[in-house]
Amino acid sequence: MVATVRIRAPQPKKMTSVGNNIMPRTFPLDKVRNIGIIAHIDAGKTTVTERILYYTGRTYKVGEVDEGTAVMDWMQQERERGITITAAATTCHWREHRINIIDTPGHVDFTAEVERSLRVLDSGVVILDAVAGVEAQSETVWRQADRYSVPRICFINKMDRIGANFHRTVGMIEERLWAKAIPIQLPLGKENLFQGIIDLTDSKAWLFPNDVDATPVEMPIPEEEKDEITKYRQSLIERLAENDDQLMLLYLEGGDIANHQLKAAIRRLTLANRIVPVLCGSALRNKGIQPLLDAIVDYLPSPLDVPPVHVIDAKTGEEVTRPASDDAPFSALAFKVVADPFMGRLVYFRVYSGKVKVGTQVFNSSKGHKERLGRLILMHANRREEIEEVDAGSITATVGLKNTFTGDTLCDLSQPVLLEPIRFPEPVLAMAIEPRSKADQDRLGEALNTLSEEDPTFKVNSDQETGQTLISGMGELHLEVLIDRMLHEFNVGVRVGKPQVAYKETITVPIETEGRFIRQFGGRGQYGHVWLRLEPGERGSGFRFLDRVRGGAIPEEYIPAVEAGVKEALESGVVAGYPLVDIKVTLYDGSFHEVDSSELAFKMAGSIALKDGASTAKPILLEPIMKLELVLPAQFLGDIIGDLNSRRGHIEGIETHGETCVVHSLVPLAETFGYATALRSLSQGRATYSLEFYCYKELPANLTEQITFRAKGK
Mean pLDDT, residues 424-433: 81
Closest CA to 578 of 637, 500, 645: 500
12 pLDDT band (50/70/90 cuts)?
Answer: very low
Distance CA 83, CA 92 (A): 22
pTM higher than 0.85: no
CA nearest 482: which of 513, 505, 460, 514?
A: 460
| Nearest C-alpha neighbor of 569 from the set 591, 557, 585, 554 | 585
DSSP helix, strand, coil percent of the chain (3-state; round to 5): 30, 35, 35
Give the tens place of pLDDT for each residue, 356-397.
999 999 999 999 999 999 889 887 755 778 888 999 999 998
- pLDDT above 90 covers a percentage of the chain that reads 49
Question: Could you tell me the pLDDT band of residue 329, with boundaries at 50, 70 and 90?
Answer: very high
Rounded Cα gap, residues 68 and 58, in angstroms? 19
Three-class SS state of 668: strand
186 contacts 198 by C-beta, under 8 angstroms:
yes
The per-residue DSSP string of 439-470 comes to: HHHHHHHHHHHHHHHH-TT-EEEE-TTT--EE
Amino acid 18: pLDDT: 31
Instruction: Enumerate the β-bridge partners of residue 89.
Output: 102
For residue 632, the surrounding DSSP H or E stretch is: strand 620-633
Measured CA distances, 505 to 93, 508, 697 (Å): 52, 10, 10
**Burial class of 539 by CB neighbour count within 10 A (0 to 12, 13 to 18, 19+):** middle
* Angle value at C-alpha 387, between 382 and 393, nearest 5 degrees: 85
Q: Is the dihedral of CA 544, 548, 553, 554 positive or negative?
A: positive
Quick one: CA torsion of 432, 435, 441, 445, rounded to 10 degrees?
-40
82-91, 216-225, 253-262, 561-570: which has the highest mean pLDDT?
Answer: 561-570
Arithmetic mean of pLDDT over the chain: 86
The per-residue pLDDT for 373 is 92
Between 114 and 534, whose confidence is greater?
A: 534
Cα–Cα distance, 298 to 293 (Å, whole number): 9
Reduce the secondary structure of 468-494 to three states and give it as a string. CEEEEECCHHHHHHHHHHHHHHCCCCE
Mean pLDDT, residues 191-203: 93
pLDDT given at position 76: 58
Q: How far apart are CA 362 and CA 368, in angstroms?
A: 11
Alpha helices in 272-315 (DSSP H): 289-299
Say which amino acid occupies 602.
F
pLDDT band at residue 160 using 50, 70 and 90 as cut-offs: very high
Element (H, E) at 197: strand 196-199
| C-alpha to C-alpha distances, 554 to 192, 562, 588, 595, 600, nearest whole angstrom | 76, 10, 9, 13, 14
**Pairing outcome for strands 620-633 and 504-506:** antiparallel
Local structure of 162: helix, strand or coil: coil
Strand, coil or helix: 431: strand
What burial letters (b/e) apply to 91-110, b meaning 16+ CB within 10 Å?
A: bbbbeebbbbbbbbbbbbbb
**Rounded Cα distance, 100 and 637, in Å:** 44
> What DSSP letter does each residue of 519-575 carry, written as one string?
E--SSS-EEEEEEEEEEEPPTT--EEEEE---TTSS-GGGHHHHHHHHHHHHTS-SS
- Ramachandran angles phi, psi of 236, nearest 5°: -60, -50
Express each pLDDT in 464-479 by its tens digit. 655 678 888 877 888 8
Partners of residue 692 on adjacent β-strands: 627
Length of the chain as a residue count: 714
Asked whether 613 and 685 are in contact (CB, 8 A), the reply is no
Distance CA 406, CA 429 (A): 22
- The amino acid that residue 519 corresponds to is R
Bridge pairing between strands 181-183 and 276-280: parallel
